[in-house]
Homo-oligomer: A and B are copies of this chain.
């Protein structure tokens, strides 16, 4: 049985202001919840008997399929919903940039795109993502689900992106993709640095663009054919990260 108050709490967590007030976020389904439980203890669990038994976890709230459907944000609810503590705001250590690739997002708006970027960052071992203040919130239910559990292994830092780049100082390679950049396959790529990806409609903002010192371009094929104007931001991120990683296996 799930209480009315708990239903109300879960539903409220779709909104950022309630996530911040309650310091909680929602995750659903055995895969996503299981991945997050590797490193975080859930504050509440709402699950079917089957899930508790399979995972040998002490029952918190026991529900049937019908009750689960009442609180789920998914079209097809999957056995378990968990509330986890929001990560504390963390300080990004610029030193980590000396050895690692980092993705920076300049106002990526679509929750599906953000979730997909977190998932592929995880695949490519990029453990830090810097998000501009206008980037979608990574702890909304849609983003958490789209990460397929990768939100447990990738750290997100929301900050004023131009100031962040300003404070890096000179000497860090800062990459960005542009329609008039250099062919990514012909550009020297470093083992560490920042890869900036821009907003879905507007690309990288002027304010951020001035910090980019390596402009990249993903070539279309064949070069002369009329084609799509651009690639989706998650797709462009994937192709760029794959190419960085291909060089340094």
Chain A residues within CB distance 8 Å of chain B:
31, 112, 116, 119-120, 122-125, 148-150, 153, 185, 218-222, 225-232, 234-235, 238-239, 242-243, 245-246, 249
Contacts and interface: CB of A to CB of B under 8 A. Distances in A.
Given A185-B246, A228-B149, A246-B185, A124 B235 contact: no
A123 B228 contact: yes
28 contacts: A116-B232, A120-B231, A120-B235, A122-B228, A123-B218, A123-B220, A123-B227, A123-B228, A125-B221, A125-B222, A125-B225, A148-B228, A148-B229, A148-B230, A148-B232, A150-B228, A153-B226, A185-B246, A219-B249, A221-B249, A231-B238, A234-B234, A235-B235, A235-B238, A239-B239, A239-B242, A242-B242, A242-B243
Contacts of A238: 231, 235, 238-239
Contact of A119 (B123, B124, B125, B228): B228
Contacts of A234: 116, 232, 234-235
A125 B221 CA distance: 5
A116 B120 CA distance: 16
A123 B231 contact: yes
B153 A119 contact: no
Contacts of A125: 220-222, 225, 227
Nearest first, the 7 closest Cβ-Cβ pairs linking A and B are A221-B245, A125-B221, A122-B228, A235-B238, A239-B242, A123-B228, A150-B228
Contacts of A222: 125
Contacts of A120: 228, 231-232, 235
Nearest to A222: B125
Contact of A116 (B123, B149, B235, B246): B235
A116 B232 CA distance: 7
A123 B231 CA distance: 7
Nearest to A120: B235
A245 B147 CA distance: 28
A246 B249 CA distance: 18
